[in-house]
Every structure is written in C-alpha cells, then in structure tokens.
Structure 1
C-alpha cells in the first residue's frame, strides 16, 4: 500500500505564499501546543481492496499501570499524550506487561461497496480489546482467553470496521503482551479476505500434510527396519510441527481452542523440545559419538545448559530473548556437520544444505523478534515453513542415503566373506585331494607289505619243509637241529617285530610335516579366517547385549556389535587368546598334540617349531588341559577333529584387554 500524499507545484515566494506559510506555521504551533504530532490518516476508497498498516498509521499511548479505560484515553489530556507509532520502537518489549493503547483514524472516501476488516498479525497477544468508532460494545479477546471469545474463529485477531462513507472514524485497541510483539496489521475487504483464507489454509494444509507424510513414512521405516535414527527423525519432525502449530496459531484454533493455559505452555515449551530432539537426532545422524567423540561431549553440555537457560527464561525472567539460547548449540552442530563432511561422510552435505536454508529463515524471524520490520512480508513470514519442508524432504532423502551406504558396506563385507569362504573351500578341496593321495599311498603300501609277508611266509614254509626232511635224514645230529630250531625262533621273533613296525607305520602314516601343514594354512589371515568361521559357525551373538547384527571391526576378522559398539576379535575367548608366537605354528602344535593324544614331547615340538622348549611346554600343558575339558564335555565325540579344541578358553577377560592380546607375534 502506498501512503497517500498531496504534492503542490514549486512556486516563487510571493506575498501570498509568505502569508500562507505564516498561517501554516501558526497552525503547526497550535497543534504542537495541543499535543504530539498525530499519526497519518488511512484513506480507503471503493477501488482499494486491502491496505498494509505499519506503525506509522497508529497513535500509541503506553499505560504502565494498566488502569486506564476507554473514557480516560478519550479525554483531551490523555489524547494529547498519544505519539505517532513511527516515533516509537515497533515493539512492546521495553516494558513487558504494560498496556498499549492504539488509535487508528480511517477516512472513507466515496460509496463503499464492501465491509472492511482489521487483522492483527501477532496471534500471541495476551489481551486485545477493540473499541468500535460508533460506541458499540468492545470486543475483548486474546491468547489468554478461549477461542470462543473471538467473533471470528480465526488464528489471528480479526475485527470488522463499520466504516461510514465520507467520514473519518477513530478506532481504539488496547493490547497487552508479556513478550515481544509488533503493531503490524492489515485492512482487507471481504473478497480479498476470503481469497487470502483459501490460499493461506491451502498452503498450510499442504505444509502439515507433507510433515504428516514424512512422519508416517519414517515411522514405518523404523518399525520395519529397526534403525533408531528414523525414530529420532520422527521425534524431531513432530517437535517442529508443534512449534509451527503454536507459532502460527493453528494449534490454538483447531486442537486446543478451549485451553489457553495449555497454549501458553506449548508456546513456551515447544522450542525447548525442538532443541532437545534436534540435537538428539543430529548427533545420531552425523555419528558424532564415533567421529567426533570429544566434540560430542561439548555439544551435549552446551545443549543442556541452553535448555536450562530457556526454562529459566520461560518460567521467571520472561525476557523474550530466549531465542539467543538456540544460536550456540545450533552453530556447534552445524560446525560438527561441516567437519564430518570433510572427513568423508557424504550424507552430511545434505544436512548442511537443509539447515543453511533454515538458518536464513531463522534470521528473518530474529529480525521480527527484534522489531525490525524492514524485511517483513508474506514471503519472509512463511519462509521458515518452506525451508522446513525442504529440510524435511532433504533430510529424509539423506537418511535413506545413509542407510543405503550402510547396506552397501554390509554387501561389500558379505562379498569379502564370500571370497574368504571360496578360498576356504579351495583349501578344503586341496586337503581332500591330499588325503586321497595319502589313502592311495597307504593302500599301495599295504599291498606291498601283504605281498612281502606272503613271500616271507612261503619262504618259511619251504625252509620248514627242508628242515623236516633234514631232520629225518639227520636224526643223529641233534645239536645241529637245536641250532636250526633256535634260528627259526629268532626269525619268527623278527617277523613279529616287523609286523608290529608295519602296524605302527600305518598308524603314523596320517601325520604331516610343517611344510605340508603350512600349505593348508598358508598365512595368519587364513588362520584367523578359519578360526572366525569356526567360532561363529552358529551365528553372531554380542557377549554384552546379545544383539545379532554386526559389522567388521578394525582388527582383521573381528566383529563389532551395531547396537552397543562392542568389538570382539577372532582369537578372543579361544585357546589362542594369549598366544605369544605365530598363529600358524600354534595351529600346527595343536594338531600334533591332539593327533598324538597329548604324547608329544616339548623337545620335539621345540625342534619342529623352532621355539624355546619352555614356551612349547607351557603351550602343550594348555592344549592338554583343553583336551581334558573337551573329553568331559557332554557333546564330545571320539571321532571329532582337532579343531574343536581351538574354541576352548580358560579366560573371560574384557574385550578391551583381549583386543591388545590377540596381536599374534610372528
């Protein structure tokens, strides 16, 4: 709306102009003696549809006592104390609780075709009293009263102006507010007011509809997936919705119209809830506890201190400057997002973009709170709604991208595990082929031994026949026969010893040397992979919280619980937990001791493994003790392999110590 002014052409100073100037000067002096300069008069015509009313059109009178009545302010002495709104601050923050009388003069030019209405923008005014110019009963309402006290059940304060054609009418408003407010308002006729209602409520309906869709969508994702970040995001969106419902007045209009005390509580408490839920969600989304642990503790402390400051201001101080408590925690979280993005978390860039738009809209809000109405218009007033819709959509997409990144990392880990399983299967196939070759060699050796035994048996039979013939022929040579008999007995003894040695060799033929064993388990990674697969063959279960989902830890083949972040290495809680030498040698030592049923000397083990005898002896005792406990186990099987002994452990130390002890020395 452009203010109506009258311009006159510039003329040369004549005695007529000098006389006119003198008269105007006298009139001005008289008006100054009568009181302060009055405010501008609003002029409405049939062609106008709406007018923006800034404080310059109001005459303002502050009543610190709050005792003045409409009759008092209409007295000439009080009327002279009114000042133009343009000469005063645009807010009532300087004296919270004071009553402010606004005087508005409106000139109706021509025959008006429609009714005019005055809309006050601030829906948080505690008390509003509207006094019509025709002396009718005043309208008394405000945020401290139920919605039914308003003639029009609208979120803002709306008053009908009974304008009379070609007359100047004066209207009075008495405002009381416990917080910072403005005198901004707008005059509208019926048709623009109806169009404004349709447009405003349509946009607000779309805005809250989008919020509801985001809440339901992410809540369903949380129920199906179980990811806690979705639940935190839902709480954040709900608290933002509560802030907007209390800020734009729709909550009081539709949800709690008969509970003004509840409305005041929500207006004061929803920003505190927003700060808590935002920090609760942002820290989880950015993984600050893992990526920036020290900075995360600072952020939590600042958030708690800010919440305490907001509560104190809302309950006792009522300064109206509580929004400054938001700047420090929001700034710290935004800085943390920047650092997390620099460290490689790609989804943090969405967080930075979304909250940059919110920061701009918050800047406009702070300017309105400070009483600076230079940038106040429909776009800036609803810029926070637009920014928050963009933020909700962007953060929801970013949350999906984060979950997708975690899923991709899991798929890569599964691919790595598949490769390890393929490698394990290849090693197993090689072991099976080696065992088949050993079986073939054993069968060949058994055949050769059987043929040798048969041959020796035939030779002994022939010798026995010869001796019998010679015995018949040489009955008289008893001494020689005795010697031959002794030789035969010695030969039988040697044959029995040979048979025993053959049996022993067959038993020991399944033993392999360290070189062959190293081909099966070529390096430390293969041993750790085999041990991890053996250890978690029945599935992963966290030892602290029982959770069944995990991801790879820092150490090779270790597993980290996705719920409590507890890390367990492959050697933790096994026989090799405190092993001080190569895990390959440890595998081979367990194999030898187990296959010899504990009857393997530490001297021989020291020679084979190139280790100190004391080390071999200590490890042998540990293995034999594990074998003893395994034999006492109810699920013990005589034909089970030697690898079952590896899962035995004599210690249950915390994982913090186990992680350091599983670094196997080569």
Structure 2
C-alpha cells in the first residue's frame, strides 16, 4: 500500500501527469460549461461557443447526439465553422443558461443563406422544441421569416437549455453565425438589409442607365452588359437569400438550384459581353475563336447545373466562374497591349471581380476563413466591377458624345428657356386660380371653402398648442333698408366697406370671411379668455357703428355678434351653428350687441 501511494504521488508530481490532469480538467469544463446570457449580454459569435459533430451518413438522431458518449468536438479545435463541401450532416451543440432578471428572447443566426435545411432541437426541462429553416424550406414554413436561417430562443430567468442544430446541405457547409438579443438582432438585420439595398440600388441604376444607352445608340455591348448584370444580380439574390425571401418564396426546391444556374449563366453572358465590348473578332481573331468555344462550354455547364446533383452543380459553378474570369482577365491584358479602346478599364474591372470570385470559391472549399470580407467578397468585387464596366462603356463612346454635344447644347438651351417660360406662366395661372377659388369676389375676404379649410387647421393648432379659439358670426343690423332704399349696387359697396373695416379692426392673425349675404365669420386664435373674446367683438362693433360715407351719402349699420369658444375638440360645422344661435340671441335682446354661446 505505501509503495502504491508513493507511485501515484510520483506520477502526479511528474510534468506529463500534471499536463494530463490539467487537460482532462479543462476538457470537462468545456463540455459542461454553459453559455451564460444576462440582461446586457453582447452578441456572441458561434465560433468558440458551440461544439460540433460530423455525421457523414446523415443517420444520427437527436437521441444519438444527446447520448453521453456522443463524440462532439469543441469548435476552437478548428480554424472556423466553415466545413466546405462535405457529405452528410453537421450537428452543432450549444448549452445555454439564463442569468437575466426576466424572460428574454434571443435570436440564433447562421449567416449563410445557401444551407439546404437547418433543424433546431431546443431541449429543456419542458421537453424538445423543434423548428427548421434553410433555402429548401418554403419561406412561409421557416422558423423566422428571414433571408438567413434564424431561430428564436426564449429563456426564462435561471433556465438552462441545450440547442442542437442539424445542418444538411449539398452546398458549402458554412456554419458561421451568432447568438444575440432580439434588439441586437433587429439592428444587425437592418444593417445587413441596408448594405444589400445600396448594392442592388447601384446595380439597378447602372442597368437602367445602360439600357437607356442601348435604346438610344443601338450598340450591342450595352445590351450584353445589362443581360450580364441581370444574371449576376439573380445569383447574388440567391447567394444572400433575398431571392428566396422576395422573388421565389414558394419555389423552395428551385431556390436551392438557383445559385449555380444563375451564376453559371452570368459567366456565359460575361464572355458574350467581353467579345462584343473588346471587339475580339476584329482585334484578336484567334482569341475570339477561343472565347466562342468557351461560350459553348459554359452553355453546356449551364445545362449541367440544372441536371447534376446540387453539390456537383455548385462545384461546377465555382470552377466555371474561375475559368471564365481568368480567361477574360488574360484577354483584357492582351487587348491592352493592342490598345483596344476601353481595355484598361475592362481589365481593372475584371480584376476586381476575379478577386471577389477567388475569395468566395476558396471560402466555399474551406481553404480560407469565413468572415465579413470573404462572405461579401463577391458583392464588393462585383459592385466595383459593374461601376468600372459602366465607365468603360461610357469611355468607348465618348467621341460620339462630343460630336453631338454642340448641336444638343443649343437645342437644350432653347428647350430649357421655353420650359422655364411655360412653367412660370403655369405657376402664375395656378396661383391666380387658387386665389380666386378661395376668395369672395365682392369683398375680397375668404369664402366658404377657405373658411372651412382655415377653421379645420385652426382647430388642430388649438388642440396641439392647448389654446382657446373663438369663432364669431356677424350679422349686419339695418342693412336690408339700405339695400332696399339705395339699390343693390350701393349695398354691395357697403358690404365691401364692412369687409375693409373688419380687416382694419381685427388682429393680423385673425381671419375674416364672408359666409353669404350680410353674414360674416371671424376666426380668432390664441384667445386668452371669454372676456378677451368679448373685447375683440366690441371693438368690431365700434368700428362698424362708425358712419360710412359712400357716394356723398352717410349710412350707418350695426351688427349682432355671436361668439363660441373652443379648445379644438369640436368640429367646424358645430361651432358655426353654435355661433349662429348666439348671434340670434343677440338680435333678440336688442341687436347691435355681443352674445357668448353657453
């Protein structure tokens, strides 16, 4: 027994024994450790958090991978979570524990859209929650409606759950992603959609611009450029999951094959565009025959991507894209030596695309890490390429543009002058018509239409500013005898004089309007109190009661004024009706006075 103890102590004291015990201890901690999520946990990269298990035959079940002896490996043992083109399925395991003070919603995202099917098994004390996503899953059936495979994780305070992801894909097994709170995910998702919106906005603008140039100049390179851009845009839509989300959401099986078909078609159209742009038939006849043969080969590859298994189609797509890009880059360098117009910009543009295509292909084969640069390399390279190609097309026809510029300039000046004159005349006519439509022709005051518009706006301002609004309805006293005695023409002059006095004795912000006949309405905003409104009305009475001297005649008219106050909660029709009732009470009490509505 003492000898055994001595042997054990010697072993533990030895350096190899200590290292072994330390490794076993760390491995045990890694296996049992949970990812702890608190109230303010920042977004977490899945690399380093998850364990992975390869299933080459794709036959393992959830019970198999939950077994204690399931051979999961820590993701830190790999460079990243990009597995390349592999057979079968890949399982990811992520144990979670909530340290939040309340129920929290988290989002798990795999940021590669071209994964066929992703199943999530969310295991907790309440059992297993199963959901799925991926580009072969109809959009309506995905766990979360998104261009990427995204899943929702709900954690109660202190709850422990273990997530098992089963990924099956014929394409590249790129399983990079993140775990983040709902708020962080929404911001992250919005930023991603914004980047793609800018990218496709640039493509659409360039495509429409060059399509218009084709329609105007009837030059074939412009049309070939637009067709190439269209096919390439479809491939990028498929690559980033936007096509499955917005264009072919109900065609899930086709969505899985759309990427190799569209990208290989784009390679074919790029060679067709290069032949017409560089005019290789004239400048490089031998190279042109080689490019023609390449077109035939790529056309066969397009057909093959439709018929082959998806994984083979994707591999053929990557190979075809690289061959076409390298061939066109070499062709453009030769054309630069022959001083072909636009060849320099064409070579630079294709170098940008080649860089993006190489990075994407190397990432798909798991030869370089999967990160933001390699994930979006194709978009970045192709965006620069499309812009440079557009510049190259413009430079090619620069001479023709200069020849037409002088003649067009004169015509444009004449046209601009005529347009300016017509626009000014039209604005003046519209302004005059607008004034007439809102103005009483006799008094120049606002008419019923203008009154209604202004009163509605004043009521809204009254509510917003919490101010008191007064509506006054004025009916002239003694106007009918004047009209009968002196005639309607003289009566019209009296009404015009009344309108002038209303403008004179009202505040600048108040609106006088003619309701009809000898009735007027005044809208007074920002009234301090009922007494303030009475004072304004009495001021009007005093102004109207002053004798009028018209055509060597002196006449005098009074007025009965009804007032209603509002904080903006009433409608315009009700206020005018209440003011009218108050005005009739003023007449009943002896005329030439002010009556406030109750």
Measure the CA separation in 1 of the matches of 2:176 and 2:43: 14
Q: Is the 8 A contact 2:104 2:156 kept in 1?
A: no
1:569-620 deviation line (CA, Å, top 9, x unaligned)? xxxxxxxxxxxxxxxxxxxxxxxxxxxxxxxxxxxxxxxxxxxxxxxxxxxx
Change (3 A) 1:259 1:148: same
1:266 aligned onto 2:258: yes
1:232 aligned onto 2:224: yes
In structure 2, the residue matched to 1:184 is 176
1:182-225 deviation line (CA, Å, top 9, x unaligned)? 22111111222121222221221122122112222211221122
1:124 aligned onto 2:117: no
In structure 2, the residue matched to 1:651 is none
Shift of 1:329: 2.6
Summarize the alignment of residues 362-373 of structure 1 with structure 2, pairs less than 5 Å apart. 362-373=357-368
In structure 1, the residue matched to 2:389 is 395
In structure 1, the residue matched to 2:46 is 53
Shift of 1:164: 4.3
TM-score normalised by length of structure 1: 0.53
| SS in structure 1 at match of 2:308 | helix
| SS in structure 2 at match of 1:358 | helix
Summarize the alignment of residues 457-606 of structure 1 with structure 2, pairs less than 5 Å apart. none
| SS in structure 2 at match of 1:57 | coil
Over aligned residues, Cα RMSD in angstroms?
A: 3.3
Change (3 A) 1:325 1:40: farther
Measure the CA separation in 1 of the matches of 2:257 and 2:86: 22
1:248-268 deviation line (CA, Å, top 9, x unaligned)? 010100111111122123222
Shift of 1:315: 2.9
Q: Is the 8 A contact 2:53 2:90 kept in 1?
A: yes
In structure 2, the residue matched to 1:196 is 188
1:329 aligned onto 2:321: no
- Bigger RCO (CA 8 Å, 6+ sep): 2
Measure the CA separation in 2 of the matches of 1:31 and 1:76: 17
Summarize the alignment of residues 99-248 of structure 1 with structure 2, pairs less than 5 Å apart. 99-109=89-99, 111=101, 114-134=104-124, 135-166=127-158, 168-248=160-240
Q: Is the 8 A contact 1:39 1:85 kept in 2?
A: no
Measure the CA separation in 2 of the matches of 1:377 and 1:64: 25
| SS in structure 2 at match of 1:132 | strand
Change (3 A) 1:51 1:142: same
Unaligned runs of 5+ in 2: 1-8, 406-598
Aligned residues: 390
1:476-503 deviation line (CA, Å, top 9, x unaligned)? xxxxxxxxxxxxxxxxxxxxxxxxxxxx
1:465-486 deviation line (CA, Å, top 9, x unaligned)? xxxxxxxxxxxxxxxxxxxxxx
Q: Is the 8 A contact 1:40 1:57 kept in 2?
A: no
| SS in structure 2 at match of 1:152 | coil
Change (3 A) 1:293 1:20: closer
Change (3 A) 1:129 1:325: same
Q: Is the 8 A contact 1:99 1:175 kept in 2?
A: yes
Change (3 A) 1:332 1:114: same
Match of 1:255 among 238, 244, 247: 247
Shift of 1:333: 1.4
Match of 1:385 among 366, 379, 384: 379
Measure the CA separation in 1 of the matches of 2:157 and 2:23: 28
Q: Is the 8 A contact 1:39 1:57 kept in 2?
A: no
Unaligned runs of 5+ in 1: 1-13, 412-666
TM-score normalised by length of structure 2: 0.59
Measure the CA separation in 2 of the matches of 1:86 and 1:328: 35
| SS in structure 1 at match of 2:155 | coil
In structure 1, the residue matched to 2:73 is 83
Higher deviation after alignment, 37-46 or 234-243 = 37-46
Measure the CA separation in 2 of the matches of 1:296 and 1:366: 27
1:39-72 deviation line (CA, Å, top 9, x unaligned)? 9753434333211112x43322233443332223
Larger radius of gyration: 1
| SS in structure 2 at match of 1:116 | strand
Change (3 A) 1:21 1:397: closer
Shift of 1:357: 1.8
Shift of 1:381: 2.5
Change (3 A) 1:192 1:250: same
Measure the CA separation in 1 of the matches of 2:193 and 2:25: 50
Measure the CA separation in 1 of the matches of 2:22 and 2:379: 51
Measure the CA separation in 1 of the matches of 2:174 and 2:362: 11
Shift of 1:352: 1.6
Measure the CA separation in 2 of the matches of 1:23 and 1:162: 41
1:342 aligned onto 2:337: yes
Measure the CA separation in 2 of the matches of 1:72 and 1:344: 66
